[in-house]
Each structure stands twice: as structure tokens, then as C-alpha cells.
Structure 1
Amino acid sequence: MADTAVIERPAEADPRPAGRPSLLRGIDRRLPWVLRHGGWLGPLAVAVFAGLLRFWNLGYPHAFVFDETYYPKDAWSLLQQGYEGGWADNANTAILGNPQSIPLNSSWAFVAHPPLGKWVIAVGEAAFGLNPFGWRVMVALLGTLSVLMLARIGRRLFGSTLIGCTAALLMSVDGLQLVMSRVGLLDGVLMFFVLAAFGCLLIDRDKTRERLFADGVDADTVRLGLRPWRLAAGLLLGAACSVKWNGAQILAAFGLLTVLWDQAGRRRAGARRPMLSMLRHDAVPAFCSMVVVGAGVYLASWSGWFATSGGYDRHWADGHPGGILPGPLRSWWQYQTEMWHFNTTLTTPHTYQSNPWSWLVQGRPVSMYWQTVTAGQQGCGSSGGCTEQILALGTPLLWWTACFALAYLLWRWFFRRDWRSGAVLCAVAAIYLPWFQFQQRTIFSFYMVVLVPFLCLAVAQMLGAIVGPAGASVRRRAWGGGVAGALVLAIMGCFLYFLPLYTAQMIPMSDWQDHMWFTSWI
């Protein structure tokens, strides 16, 4: 398994073994399409498992969980008005108690994030109404699809369906990804778009190399023309920026990554000046596909604000004449500057805020929901009382293992020049490192749900190395497989132990205390 990490061929290449009997070929053609493609059967099975976890009892608790008090109402306002409007003081009680009488008014409201993530939530509300299931269902769907995508991405990245499915299985049992897939917040939507863009760039890399390595191609002068998968990555990264501004630094990092892949591809194809060839033929198209397209998607995500007249700052330019841009664009730009100021200067203390230094080890998880139940009430049979909690805690053993996996990838990238390790590390750096500049800002560890897929890829790659290369002895691979399998089972067991705290299941207070391994988790 480990040796697949240094193969330069496209991982999707899976030639039929020579000498396959003709009878088997005939039977193979008659099998259902999915069964004939093992690269889909495993990922689909893991995705179904993940979906069961994410959709089970999704409408509970029947309450606003953490920042659900903002985004589902913004989403409903977008559906009704095209912009985020104001709400009456009793809105939460009215929505949960009498959905037929929703206290929405037409006044504008300042919101700190772009609209697209709330439009995604609004799709579920349009289908199922303004209720907990309605505002969570789309996030749960994207969380489930992310597991499927990760299995396929891992297969393409490492040339191994087993490694891809292992990464997906690990993400399906990560507590943070589970929690953020079961609440109506924006970060799970952001994760989906970022992961999808990463997958598109991997496909673009393989397709580009197929063209560069074709017979008769001059790697110094060939123009690769339209690259639809990179264009798709630009659309998805623009969508990520349209959910939260965190997507901007990821767009920049992925844009740099794709042109470096272009340079490396031209070099391997025999280009005499690969850097110059890349700058001449690839850099400008990459900028247009990623940055220009991404900016267009971001602007389009505000179409509801432009098309209506009641949004925040919509008529700011009317009282501030001047400038060369049309009034709506100047008003929109003013709104963006106010959002920037808010998002970079927010220092209001919060009980569950934390420093990025503690995020990889899950030093301070976020309690998103808490309900105590007295003995004898609502089925609580414990004399000490019971509790229900939703704790945004990554499965501890998985995250602690990921710390070692990242160190392994750093070694492999630096000393073995392994591009696959470099790709995962690029995503990790783009998602994680920018948060260190906000040492005074109020920030939370659940932002790292965007990082979870790449941590799982790192762990899966390390597990592949533990199993050993294909040429290793049977004894070596047996021991390696046993160790890797035991670690996966231990991570799954750790997830099951904390599952009640991820899904607001009622447990005795004494059991809850046993789950609080560190005082910083309380």
C-alpha cells in the first residue's frame, strides 16, 4: 500500500489482468455497473454508513443549537425576501412552538458572512419547512457526500481503493465532522466545497499529464487549452469563499499548487525550461480559471442582495455620492468593508473560545447544546440526574493519531519528494495556519471541520506505510495489517464511546463526567 504513494501514473488507471478468461469477461459485462467497478462499491458502502449516522434522529434536539439561532433564520429570510431581514425578539420561541406564525419582518439586518451557505440551508427549509430537520438536512447531505468524495479522492491520490475507503471510514467516525454535519451551521458547507475543489484539481492533474506524456508532444510549447476540471475547481472555490471568507486563502494555496503541478508535469514530460513554459502557457489560464471565476461566483452569490432593495447597506451610496462605480456596487463594497472589520476585530469573550495551538489535540471543544434532566423525568433513571449534550469534539484518538501522521507526511514530502504528501500538507497549511494571526480574535475549534478530510487522508497514508509495500514479506505485511487494523478499530471504539455526546443522547450525569477526560472539555 505504501509504495502507491510514489507512483506517478494516474491512480485511476486499472488495466485488466493479462490472460483473464473470456468466460469471466462475459460474466463481468453482465454484472451491474457498480459491482463491476470496485472503486465505487467500497466508497458507496462507507457513504451509506456515514449517512445513517448523520440522518438518524436529525431533527433532535428540537431547539436552536449554538449559532443555529442565526443561519437558519437568515436562510428563511433569503427564501422569503432575497436578503437577510430582521426578526422579532420572540422569534426563536415562535419558530419552535408555532411555525405557522413566523415573526419575520422586512427590516434589514447586518450579517457577517456571505449568503451562499445560507442559500444551501434554505434549500432544506424550502423542502421541509422552518424546523430543525429542515435547516439541518442539506448540511447532513453534504456531510455524507463528503465521505463518498473522500473515498474517491483517496483512491485517486494513492492509487488504492483500500486507502481511500480507510480515509472515508475515519472521517465517517470523526466526532467533529459528525456534529457539524448535524447542525445548521456554515462550516460543514464550506468543508464540502473545499474538498470537492481538491478532488477536481487531482483529476485535472491526471488529465493534464495524460496530454503532456502523449507521443509527439513538445512539453515546452504545448498549450493545454480548456481544462474543465480546473475550471470546476475555480467554481467550487468561489463557492467556498461565498460561504465564508476562509475560502480565500485556500483558493490562493490551491492556485499555487496547481501551477506547481503544471511545472512538475512539464519537467517530467521533458521540457527544457519547465518553469518558463509554465509561466508562459499555464499561469494566466490558471489565474482566470481559479481567481477570476471564483470572484465571479462570489459576486453572483449576492444576486439576491442586488436584485432587492431592502438589504443591509443596499442604499448606502445614495447618501455618499461620488466615485466611478455604479451606486449598487459602491454600496456592496461598503458592506464588504464592514464585514471585514467585524470579522477581523471580534474580541468579545466567549466561554468556549480557544487558541489555534490547541486545536489539533482538541484542547477546547465547543459545547453546542446542553440540557439537564432531573431524576425520574423524561426517562432519566439515575438518582444523580441526567444530561443531554452536543459536544463539537473530534474523535480524540483520531486527532491525536493525525498529529503523528502529519509529522510522517512532512518527512515524506521533504526527504522523499512525495507530491501526494505535499498536496495534503498544502491543504492543511491553507486551512489551519492562517488562524494563528488571530491571537486576540474570538475563534472556536469547530472551524477545523474543514481540516478533517485532510487529516483522515494523512492518517490513511500513514496506515498504508505501516502495512508495508507490496513487495514486502507476507510476515511483514501481516504484522503491519494487524497493527493498522487494530488502530482503525480503536478509533471506531473511541467514536462509539463519545457518540452520546455527539447526538444529544440522554446519559447519567456520572457517565458524562467519565467522558470529560480533561477539565478543558467542560
Structure 2
Amino acid sequence: MTIQILLAALFLAAVLWLGFRAAPETEGAPVRRARIKEATVFGLPPVPVFCAVLALGLILRFILGYNINGFEADISCFKAWAAYTHDYGFNNMYYRDFFLDYPPGYLYVLYIVEAFRRLFGVDQYAQSYTLMIKLAPILSDIACAAALWVLARKKLGEKSALLIAFAYLFCPAVIVNSSVWGQADSFCALLLLCTLLLLWYNHTPLAAFVYGFGILSKPQMLIFAPVLIFWVIRKKDWKNLVLGPIIALVTILLFSTPFIKNFDYLKLIEIYTGTIDYYNYYTINAYNVWALFGLNWAALPEHSTWLQFGVPLATVLTGLLLLKSKRDDAVFACPTVLMFTVYIFCVKMHERYLFPVLLCLLLTYVFTKEKRFLLLFAGTSTVHFLNVAYVLYLNNAYISPTSIQILFLSALHVLLYIYMLYITYRCFISEKALRPLPAFKTQKAASAEQHTKPAAAPEFSLITDKNHNVRLTRVDLLCIAVVTLLYGIVAFTNLGDHETANTTWTPQNGESAVFETDDAYSEIFYLPGIAPADNGIGQRVGTNMKIEVSNDQINWTTAAENTDGSVYAWKNVSVAAVGKYIRITSMCDDLAINEFALKKADGTGFATLTAVSGNAWQLTDEQNTVPLYPSYMNSTYFDEIYHARTAYEHILGLEPYENTHPTLGKLIISVGIRIFGMNPFGWRFMGTLFGVLMLPALYHFLKRLFGSTFLCSAGTVLFAFDFMHYVQTRIATIDTYAVFFIILMYDAMLVFIQHDLKTDSFKKLLPPLLLSGIFMGLGIASKWTVAYGAVGLAVLFFGKLIVSYREEKGHAAVQKALLNKSIKLCLWCCLLFIAIPFGIYFTAFLPLTTLPHNRYDVFGRFIAYQTHMYNYHSTLQATHPFESPWYQWPFDIRNVWYYGNYSADSEGHIRTISVLGNPLFFWACVPATVYAFVRAVKRHSRTALICVIGFLSAYLPWVLVPRCTFIYHYFTAVPFILIAFLIAYQRLEKTASLRRVVFTKGAVTLTVGRILLLACVLVHILMFIAFYPVLTGTLTTQNYANALEWLPSWFFI
């Protein structure tokens, strides 16, 4: 649930930030067609940009729709109904003995989907068919986004139109409804949109036709009938007041006729009342006013018709809105008033019934240009998503109706409803106009405003040297793209297999499985797995089993006894005896084995096993995944046996085995597993992706520090192909996320530092601080080592305040203003760097603290986990053959050997993986770091100060850590030693001998200094190529690996 909460928060922040940037196109009259043709988006034609966004949204939905089943019961119903439309025919659908609570309209859609399935021969249980079931709502999402974009182009301009389409297309609530859950709400929302637009453009009969089909698709569409009725009354269109209901009724009867026998249309009433009466509860997971009173899933009393007072109330409010408002565009707000009122006050509400409100809020914003509707959309979509996501997360599990989660979300829904009524009244009915909301100024608007003001004093900051060339140019973007793409290809190559065995044999103690084979064999292969324990809390991960052989199933001889093995790491052992029959017997209470195989005696393949008894088929149903030579490509290695396993345990809803680090890193790993499955590629995907994403983040950081495209590109390449960055981001551990968020939080703090504290407003000063606090919270929630770096953030922040104050010595009035602003900033930082990070950190633990055995003492369990982690790290006395103290790390003294395989193939090759730094780069960074210290102390250089403060905060705390440490703990300091290297180079480049121009053509100038740096980069890449086999586990020879052991303390194999 943590990922869903963070996703909702990210979406909310994005919509608010983008929506409240000042956009000149949104002011005044509608945008002229000529301006639309001339306008561009980010310098590109708007139509291709929109098409790219649309394609991205569609691809995202296809990926989620294919990989996530959503609510199994609903998907199964849709599949069954689709099949029944063909097997039984339309006219038998409501007369057979099976559950069907949908009216006929959506069955036409399912009929078409089933027709295509049968045409292309898709298996009914295939994931591709699950995606096909979700295709109608997915395409409806795309159509709604496209319609919003077309309308907004005319009303708001190109950038705002793209924002509106983006907000709907990537709204988590919309995505989870269509792509994850596969519900019909998006399809009905599209019909509602068509109905409203047809009314607006005076095509009332056609609107009635579409609306009639909408009612036939889902009973909830009946709620919107007052919109059509009051619209024609407002327009005094008495003809259509009579004709409209007739057209809608004829449409319903016409399309329902194939489903009705003997024209018995009273059957329709039975269908609709049966659907409505089926869920006879106050609320069915709709967190509304009834849920606020603790009545979620509470049965209704016998005489409860009066409890539907929300329907007449919604009707009255809609009538007042349409008939009292002087604005025709009030029609677009009516569905929101109707559905929101019914959702809040009516009984028998489901969590998804609020869905059409999201589309109508954006539609209202497009026609009114009132940004409060955009604000309401952001809030409503976030809370609605959390409601729906929480229901999916629970998956029918019981939770107390008075739990804090339900009460909190219910209260938010009620508050949003009140705010909706307020802004609707003020916008459409009140004589007093709403005051325009403040907007974040765009660069152009701020520049224009600056020209109208008197010239200000020169900017001052924490530094004596200033770099104003911090904007990313197209050349920068090209360099970022090239480096990131090339590194991404290298990083994802041979990352891991996409398949492994996942069917788990979970016998009781003493239970056996028997196989038969006629092949000669010499080795046993098995894959330890993981499965929920019988108590539903812990896990089965036992590997203690006895393997016996026999030729007659009477006399058995022990071939092997296995007591060890790591989760999802293939294990092979030699057999002490052979026989035609093989019996595996569990010797523990928690045995979990995913696959079992016998390697042929000649080593060419695996014996053919036939299951004889005892669920033996569960051990041989995925023989194609058994590797002839186990390696990192098909197994966990090093700490993956903890972190990848824990990520999977989060997915299974179990108490994780590894709880010595915060949870967010493992939750991020679990995203890759959810997408690609529990296999090596799946559990390593997110770490590798974050390793790739580090590069643009680092480039932006370097750009703000140095301003030079050449220097930033060289630095990014050096970091990308450093051994530690490459190895550490390809293993499924959590250090990657710590470094990623450290880079981002320092980058955001640097943006704050580069602002002028004296002249810049809080609107400029607070956003970078907010981002820095968010990234700090995400980092600490991934690994505690980020808290070390957070100390550096505090030093930079207070240093900025102090230096800014001291620079105004002698100007008492300015100092007083700065002091007041500094106090306010400090108060803001209590929220931005304490409350918000703690909220993120606390949220990251919800998957643990809300487990069934924990959820009744969430905060107490949260404290217990922190205590356990602290005690573990503070009292750890373990030793390790590859540990190394902090003072050895900068000199690359001792590597950590992650993985080794002395028999990787039939030709005697080996595989090995070690983590260390590129030795030439690490050694060069030692004097460079010393120089950065000198420059920070003597010259007070901003770049050097940030480098030194960041380095010390990441590195110095390890001096005090008593437990055994490893060189990969130095990873958090690597970005700062890279900065030190670039600082030293930048100083050297200014010497006369290195400034000499060697080549120049156009904008390209090569000096001796630049050629020297290019040579360093080239040597760095050549070193990476040379060490590649021992960094990646690529097949190599032992002699070659040993030849790379430059220091006697290095060990590769």
C-alpha cells in the first residue's frame, strides 16, 4: 500500500505544480484557431507531442493490464459472461442459473471481445485475454483524454490542453479502474462525456440516444437523468422534454430486446432492481458519511428506503444549479454535484461510483477556467484512488469499520464534497465572483515582471564564485540521452533470466513425493522457494529433505540429505546412489521447493522424470527453467537472498524475514517483481532502472555546479562506468536507492542555495526545499545511511542563511528583513524536513504495520521495528572475510566478492562478480578530494563547499560505526569524489599549458586540457571493459580473473 500512497502523493503534487503555473493562454477570451496552429509545446508541434503522451499512456495501460489481474472475481465474471454470450446466446443470458448482475449494454462489449478471442484462438486463462477484457475501458480512457485535449486546445491553449490530457491519462485513479481492475466505469464515463457534449452543442435527441445506451450499460447512469431534464427545461425546449425520454426509452428497449424472451420487458425492471438490491449494506467500501459513522459493510434494516434521501437531495441541488445559474456551462458541473451527493449520502454505494466525477471536474475546468476545479480534481482523484487502492490491497480481507484508515479517507471525502459545493455555488450562482488563485510564474512571466521593476542589487549567495549557466540546453539533453541510453543498454544486458520455477511444493513433515526415470543421472538440482506458512504470517523456506533411491519401491537407499540452500538460488549436489525411483521426503515443517531435476550422467541435459505419487508433479512442471549450469543469471546471490526475498514477501503479504533496514527499498524492488514476475530480471529490474536514472539526475546536479556541458558529460560517463555504480545497481539490494535520493536531495538544496535570499519570494525558495525534504524522506525510508547525508543538507541550509545575513553587514533594515525571512524559512523547514520526511518514512512501514497481526497496534509496531533495527546494527559483532574499514575505501584496498562459480560450463570457464571502484579513478580522486578541501577552506568556493560537506556527511559517520563494514558503503560518497575530481580538473585546465587550443571548428574547440580529460574518460572505459568479466559474472578463465587482482588484498575467484 506504500507504493499506492506515494504514487497518489506524487500525482497530487504534479497536478498542483503544473496546473498552477501561470499560463497566459488561460486568461481572457478563448484561444483563436490561428494561435493554436502557431503554438508549440516545448518547442515542438503540439499534435505529435500529444500523440506521444497518448501512446505512452496506452503502453502503460497495456503493461499494467497484462501483468496485473486486479480483482480476480470481477475478471473471472467478465470472462465467463463473455463466453456465455456465445455459448448460450443473448436470449438465455438472464434465464440460466449463473450469477449476472450487469444489464445488457456492456454484454455487447464482452460479446465482441469474446468474438476476437475465438477468432485468434487466445486461451481463456491467458494473460493476453485478461488484457482483452480490459481493452474497452482502456480505449475509453484514451478517448476521454483525447476529447479533453481537443476541447482544451480551443479554450485554454496548447500547454494547458496537454496538462489536462496528461492529468486524466496518468491519473492513478483512472488507471487503476480501467487497467488494473478492468471495470466498465471508464466506458460509461465516455458515454456520459458524449451525452454532455451533445447537449452542449444542441443535439439533444442524439444525447438521449447515447444516454439510453449508457443506462443499459450500467444502472448507475440513471443518476444523471436530472441533468438532461433540467437542461431542456433551462433551454425551454419543450419538444425535447417529451421526445428525449421517449428516445432514451426506445433505445433501452431496442438494445435489450435480444436479451428478453417473448418481449417481456418487465424482466428489465427485475434485472435492475436485483442489481440494486443485491448489496443490501450501508456502504460497500465507499468511504462516505456512512463509513465515517463506522457502518462500512453494515447490513441495512428492513425498512431503509428513506436512507436513499441522497437521490432527491442531489436532484434538488442539480435543479437549483441549472435553473438559477446564469451560465450555460453549469451543465458540466451538474454530474459532479449529482454523483458526489449520491456517493456521500446514499446507501449501497461501492467505492468506484465516484469515478465519473473525475472526468466532469476536468471538463468543468476546461469550460470555466476556474483553477479551483483543477485543485478539486487533484484532491478528489487522490483520495478516490487511495479508497479504491486500499480496497484492492485488502482483497476481501476483514478490517474493522472503525479503523483509522477508513475514517480518515471518509472524512476527506466529506470535506472535498463540502469544498465542491462551495466553489460550485461561488462560480455559477453567487453574485460575488471568486478571487483568482495565485499562480507560479513561468520563466517568461517572471522575466517580464523583472523588467518592470527597478534594478536590484547583484545576487548574493553562499559563495564567492557564481555560475549562472545552469539551464539545460538541447545539447545537454542530447548528451544526457546518449549517455543514459548507451549505459542503459550495457546495464540491462545479461541482467538475469526472465523465467524461473515458481510452483512450490509445500509438504508436511514426513510427507514424500516419488518420481520414476529410466535415465542415468549423477547430480540433483533443486530450487528452494518460498510460500506462506500455515499461520498466514510467516513463511515456509525450509530446505531440510532426504532423497532416497530404489529399483523396486520397497528397499530404499539414501542418495543425499540436504539441509541448506537459499531462496531462489539453484542448488546442485552429487548423488551417493542411483535407482529407477527417487523419493523426496520432507524432514522439516516448512519445506518449500520450487523445482527438482536430475542431471544426466553424461552432463548433456536432464533426466525425464515421471511423477508417481505425493504431488510430485509440482516439482517437475517447470523443467524448462532448470539451468544446466546454475549462475547469477538464474539464481539469487549475495544479499539478494534477503532483499529480493523480502520484496516478494511484501507481495505475498507476509512478515518479512529481513527487517534490518527500512522498507521502501524492498518495496521498490517488488515493483519489478510485480511487473516481470519473481525471476532474476524481475527482482533486479528496478535497481538497474534507478541506476540508469541516476545519470540524468547527476548530470543536472553537475550542470548547476559547473555549467559546462563538456565537464558534465565527462563526469556523467565517469560515474556511469565506475565499477561500483555498475555492480551495485545491478544487484537487488537497497544501496542504489540511497545514492539516487542523495543525489536528488542535494540537487534540490543546490537550487535553493542558488536563489537570492534577499530578493526571491517564498514561491521560489520553498519548492526546492520541499523537493529536498521529500527526497530525503524517500532516501531514509530506503536506507538509514541517507540520514548521514541529511546532516550535510542542514549545514548547507543554515550556512546559506548565515552568509546571506553577514553579507548585509551595515544594512540594518536589510538584515532585519533577512532575519525575519530566515525565521519563517526555519519554521517551514520543520514541515519540509521533519514532518513530511517522517510522514514518508512512517508510510513506508505501512505494509508491515498493517499486516493482519500488526494492524491493531500500528504505531506500536512501527516503534518496535525501529528499535529492532537500531539494536541489530548497534550490537552486530559479526565478521566477514571481505570486510574493510572506512579508511581503506578511498584507496580501493579490499573488494567484496559477491558471487563465484568454478564450474560455469563444460569447458572449465568460471563466473565471478565483485564490487570495487575503478582503481585508477578512485586513486585519482584521493588528491582531488584533498584539493577540494583546500579550495573550500581558502577560496570558499560554492562547488568545493558542497562537495566537501556532502562527502563528509556521507563518509565521516562511518568512522564511528563499530560493526563490520564493506567498500560498498562508500557508494554514497562516490558522487562527491567525482565532483572533487572535476574541481581539480577544472583548476588544472586553467593553466596556460592546458588552455592551448589544439583544434577548433564551429562551436567545437579542443584544448590540451579537454583532450586530457577525454583521455581519462577513454582509459576509464577501457578499464571497465577489461574488468567487465569480473564485474558481471560473464564467462571467463580463472587465469584472466587472477591477472586482474592488482593488489594482494583483491580476490576475484
Instruction: Give the shorter-chain TM-score range.
Output: 0.7 to 0.9
- For residues 753 and 653 of structure 2, the distance between their equivalents in structure 1, rounded to whole angstroms, comes to 49
Aligned pair 1:163/2:711, yes or no? Answer: yes
Aligned pair 1:233/2:772, yes or no? Answer: yes
Which residue matches 1:21?
A: none
Aligned residue identity for 1:157: L
- For residues 537 and 993 of structure 2, the distance between their equivalents in structure 1, rounded to whole angstroms, comes to 60
**Aligned partner (choices 296, 300, 306) of residue 843 of structure 2:** 300
- For residues 481 and 746 of structure 2, the distance between their equivalents in structure 1, rounded to whole angstroms, comes to 19
- For residues 225 and 468 of structure 1, the distance between their equivalents in structure 2, rounded to whole angstroms, comes to 34
Which residue matches 1:38?
A: 475
SS in 1 for 2:972: helix
The answer to whether the Cα contact below 8 Å between 1:106 and 1:310 also exists between their aligned partners in 2 is: no
- For residues 655 and 832 of structure 2, the distance between their equivalents in structure 1, rounded to whole angstroms, comes to 38
TM-superposed deviation, 1:236: 0.8
Aligned pair 1:287/2:830, yes or no? Answer: yes
- For residues 520 and 339 of structure 1, the distance between their equivalents in structure 2, rounded to whole angstroms, comes to 31
Aligned pair 1:402/2:934, yes or no? Answer: no
**Aligned partner (choices 141, 166, 169) of residue 689 of structure 2:** 141
Identical aligned residues as a percent: 23
Which residue matches 1:88?
A: 541
Which residue matches 2:737?
A: 189
Matches within 5 A, 1:45-60: 45-59=482-496
TM-superposed deviation, 1:283: 2.2
Which residue matches 2:466?
A: 8
Matches within 5 A, 1:199-278: 199-206=747-754, 208-209=755-756, 212-213=758-759, 227-268=766-807, 271-272=814-815, 276=819
Structure 1, unpaired ranges of 5+: 15-35, 64-75, 215-221, 316-326
Structure 2, unpaired ranges of 5+: 1-462, 501-529, 544-566, 571-592, 597-618, 623-647, 999-1005
Aligned residue identity for 2:769: R
SS in 2 for 1:359: helix
Matches within 5 A, 1:301-316: 301-310=844-853
Which residue matches 2:722?
A: 174
CA distances 1:360-405 after superposition (whole Å, capped 9, x unpaired): 111111111101127xx44x3xxxx432111101111111111121
- For residues 653 and 771 of structure 2, the distance between their equivalents in structure 1, rounded to whole angstroms, comes to 38
> Structure 1 234/60 Cα, relative in aligned 2: closer, same or farther at 3 Å?
same
Which residue matches 2:1032?
A: 503
Q: Which has the higher contact order (CA 8 A, sep 6+)?
A: 1
- For residues 141 and 85 of structure 1, the distance between their equivalents in structure 2, rounded to whole angstroms, comes to 30
CA distances 1:110-147 after superposition (whole Å, capped 9, x unpaired): 61011100010000000000111000010001000101
CA distances 1:169-202 after superposition (whole Å, capped 9, x unpaired): 1011100110011110000111111111111112
- For residues 391 and 479 of structure 1, the distance between their equivalents in structure 2, rounded to whole angstroms, comes to 36
- For residues 162 and 99 of structure 1, the distance between their equivalents in structure 2, rounded to whole angstroms, comes to 56
SS in 1 for 2:753: helix
- For residues 183 and 166 of structure 1, the distance between their equivalents in structure 2, rounded to whole angstroms, comes to 25
> Structure 1 142/509 Cα, relative in aligned 2: closer, same or farther at 3 Å?
same
Aligned pair 1:466/2:988, yes or no? Answer: yes
- For residues 843 and 653 of structure 2, the distance between their equivalents in structure 1, rounded to whole angstroms, comes to 25
Root-mean-square deviation (Å): 3.3
**Aligned partner (choices 422, 428, 453) of residue 975 of structure 2:** 453
Aligned residue identity for 1:180: Q
Select between 402-411 and 54-63 the one with higher mean Cα deviation: 54-63
CA distances 1:479-512 after superposition (whole Å, capped 9, x unpaired): 3233333222222222221111111111111111
> Structure 1 261/49 Cα, relative in aligned 2: closer, same or farther at 3 Å?
farther
Which residue matches 2:1023?
A: 494
> Structure 1 435/277 Cα, relative in aligned 2: closer, same or farther at 3 Å?
same
TM-superposed deviation, 1:305: 1.9
Which residue matches 2:965?
A: 443
Which residue matches 1:368?
A: 898
Which residue matches 1:335?
A: 865
Which residue matches 1:388?
A: 911
Count of residues in correspondence between the two structures: 452
CA distances 1:345-373 after superposition (whole Å, capped 9, x unpaired): 11111111111111111111111110112
Which residue matches 1:125?
A: 673
Which residue matches 2:292?
A: none
- For residues 338 and 134 of structure 1, the distance between their equivalents in structure 2, rounded to whole angstroms, comes to 29
- For residues 428 and 84 of structure 1, the distance between their equivalents in structure 2, rounded to whole angstroms, comes to 42
CA distances 1:149-185 after superposition (whole Å, capped 9, x unpaired): 1112111111111111111110111001100111100
The answer to whether the Cα contact below 8 Å between 1:466 and 1:483 also exists between their aligned partners in 2 is: no
> Structure 1 466/418 Cα, relative in aligned 2: closer, same or farther at 3 Å?
same
> Structure 1 394/135 Cα, relative in aligned 2: closer, same or farther at 3 Å?
same
Aligned residue identity for 1:160: S
**Aligned partner (choices 927, 935, 942) of residue 419 of structure 1:** 942
> Structure 1 252/444 Cα, relative in aligned 2: closer, same or farther at 3 Å?
same
SS in 2 for 1:520: coil
**Aligned partner (choices 115, 140, 151) of residue 699 of structure 2:** 151
